[in-house]
Structure 1
Amino acid sequence: MQIRAEKQNNPVADEVSALVAVTRPIIAGIYHSIGRDMLTTLRREDIPLKLLGKIRSQGDGDTGIAFEYAVHDAVVNSVPIVVERVADALGRCRIYQGDPASILFAIEKSGSQQLISTEIDLITAESRVLSGERGQPVKLKAQLNRLAAAFRRANTRAQLPQSIRGLWKADLFLGSTEPDHWVGTTVKINRSHLEAARGLRVAIVPSKAGVSDAIKKDEQKNLIICPMPHDGSFMQVFYEGWRIVQALCETNFKMPKEVDLPSPIDREVARVYIERREFPVPDVLEATKKFAQPELLVADEASAANVPFGATVEPETSTIITPFPRMTS
């Protein structure tokens, strides 16, 4: 298995392409959050798009999971407003070199036993996770199994090094492959849900009306708060994409009523998925990549990719670490 490295090639051209780009990771997040107990006669990779709404377990965490995937995907695909703000936050954690990269730390989220086909080669033996405390930073690769165990069992958390005792709460590892340094990152759609934990350094949240969206440190929580801007920017597109996907899930990916999607642009985006409702979700995610603005991303030809975005394999281990970082040019 190899990883496809992609970088932004062109600016955003139109609203439809931008919404397709953001709805893809939202659909992927819903798809991967389906617990194995919800799958009876179907293998995960065979779930047709039209059944996604039926078999998903709706809950308060749906938007949060979609937000995690959208932020991760935006870093991977070098969405300028997101990458610029992430780079600023990483600089405050003393990670200055290289382009920002993201590793999705997805272990049994929402009851799901297996989430994404994985390859951890980009987490090397020298990858360090910066905790902000004095002393030699901990090597990340050596702690992966312990982090997975800590996520599942409270009695194993004391086995983690003290400086990263709460790192199992991370949603992403943000950093750079150039210095091979990473920081535990929490992603919350509701900033009131932010929790302090050792090992967590960055918090990504939506901007809030009446509150500055400047990147700054929360001294009490010891977190660099990195708000994602709203009006005419990332959060506005995310919420619009989320509404489209919600409406499609409720109609089993048939065209929703006009009152549910009154915008012609939203209905055009919906049509991209409706035309493919009979196909398995991983195939749809791969097929629609080209509609997320053609030539927005250019693949690094040096790294062939034989695992499409959204593909699933069922390895024996339940430890899921998913790196899709953007490689430096």
Structure 2
Amino acid sequence: MTNAAVTILQEAQQSPVADIYSAHIAIVRPILSGLLYSLKQDVVAEVGGYKNVKLKMLPRLRREGDGDVGICFEYAVHDALRRRHPNITERIYDALTRYCRVPGAEIDSILFAAEKNGSLQLIDTATGVLTDESRILTGAQAQPPKLKQYLSDIARAFRSSTFREMLPSTIKGLWKADLFVGCRDSDRWVGTTVKINPAALEGAPGLRLGIVPSMQGRHDNIRFDQAKNLVVCPVPYDASFMEAFYISWGIVKQFLDADANMPREVFLPSPFQRQVANELVIRREFDVVDVIEALQPLAQPHLLINNPQDVRVDVEGADMTPDTIISPIPGIIV
């Protein structure tokens, strides 16, 4: 037996398990954010900016597109990681630390919002998270670049094919990232692409992690796609995050299609669906930003807290190296 150090990221439940209503309210919030910030900036300028878009105006200002659900999925994954949603955090943490070799215990997410709300949103989001020593791990055999100094360049590269060629070769495709996922305590991050359609997943220099819905249920394992040079992390479906996301998306979509009024019962036949929709209906005269904030107390708050513990354990094999594992107690089913 060999005595080895193991860091256990023990996620202890901080609040009672939410009812189905609270769980879906929690996902409705980032869906509203995704829809709001995907509006064209010139259209939003006509009403005085994003903070002045009333909920009732959202279905009238937006131009429905095939990419709407994908953008909302990105926001939902980002929000779930920041809130430590157990059905998704433990899976992505495993991909991040075991497969992408990111050290640390304090998982976090930065939303790359260049395509949704301009480069300023990206920089403002990252200001409170990144430091001057934050590194982006690309898998290349070289010193990891410092992420913060390239933020503006990455945002500019999204819009300019000419500017993309000016990025260092190791991060040339990083403008395709949707999120930067990493660990605050180690200050190491990876470029992450999030796709609602797994067939649309593409690799690029600088990208290391791909997050997609599971296609094979709970047994859809994390894997390395050699052709794309990506660690692919499927998000669980049945009675888990993806199921909750699609139901919440359906509620919001029916609400918007009803011109921000209560849809007929045939469109939302479940009582809990109509209850969630009603929280939107009664706030239709308020700004979307304020509605998102107002729904926060109704959502499941602070599901988990992290309790990293360094312990000594007996393990088989003399070559065992220190590792990090995650232990949710207990699991929460949405």
The 8 Å contact of residues 8 and 79 in structure 1, kept in 2 or not, is answered as no
How far is 1:123 from its partner? 1.1
Residue identity matched to 1:35: K
The equivalent residue for 1:261 is 268
| Residues 32 and 112 in structure 1, CA contact (< 8 A), matched pair in contact too | no
* Structure 1 position 93 matched with structure 2 position 100: yes
Normalised to the residue count of structure 1, the TM-score between the two structures is: 0.84
Q: Which residue of 2 aligns with 1:287?
A: 294
SS of the residue 2:224 aligns to:
strand
Question: Is the aligned partner of 1:10 residue 2:27?
Answer: no
Deviation for aligned residue 1:250? 1.0
Structure 1 letter corresponding to 2:29 = R
Quote the offset at 1:211 in angstroms. Answer: 9.5
Distance in 1 (alpha carbons) for counterparts of 2:72 and 2:40: 15
Which of 197, 200, 206 aligns to 1:193? It is 200
The residue number in structure 1 matching 2:33 is 28
Aligned residue pairs, count: 291
Structure 1 match to 2:63: 57
Residues 1:169 and 1:133: Cα distance change in structure 2 (over 3 Å): same
Q: Call closer, same or farther: CA 1:27–1:131 in 2, change over 3 Å.
A: same
Structure showing greater Rg: 2
Aligned counterpart, 1:240: 247
C-alpha spacing 1:145/1:42, structure 2 compared with 1 (3 Å): closer
The structure in which a higher percent of residues are strand is: 2
The Cα shift of 1:42 comes to 3.7
CA apart distance, 1:14: 0.5
The CA distance in 2 between the partners of 1:261 and 1:72, in whole Å, is: 27
Q: Which position in structure 2 is the counterpart of 1:128?
A: 135
| Alpha-carbon distance, 1:119 to partner | 5.3
Question: In structure 2, how many angstroms separate the alpha carbons of the residues matched to 1:281 and 1:115?
Answer: 17
2:24 aligned to 5, 19, 23, which one? 19
Matches within 5 A, 1:307-322: none
| Alpha-carbon spacing, 1:118–1:174, altered in 2? closer, same or farther (3 Å) | closer
1:205 partner SS: strand
**Could you list the per-position Cα deviations for residues 245-272 of structure 1 after superposition, in whole angstroms to 9, with x for gaps in the alignment?**
0011111221101111111010010111
- Which deviates more from structure 2 when the two are superposed, residues 20-29 or residues 40-49? 40-49
Structure 2 residue matching 1:146: 3-state secondary structure: helix
Q: TM-score, normalised by structure 2?
A: 0.83
Q: Is the 8 A contact 2:111 2:125 kept in 1?
A: no
Amino acid at match of 2:71: I
Note if 1:48 corresponds to 2:51.
no
TM superposition shift of 1:295: 6.0
Q: Which residue of 68, 71, 77 maps to 2:74?
A: 68
Per the alignment, residue 258 of structure 2 pairs with 251
2 CA distance for matches of 1:83 and 1:212?
A: 16
CA RMSD of aligned residues (A): 2.0
SS at match of 1:58: coil
Q: What is the identity percentage for the equivalent residue pairs of Structure 1 and Structure 2?
A: 48
**CA shift digits 1:11-69 (9 cap, x unpaired):** 53210000100011001100111111223244321111111111012111100000000
Mark the CA change 1:13 to 1:61 in structure 2 (over 3 Å): closer, same or farther. same
SS in 2 for 1:159: coil
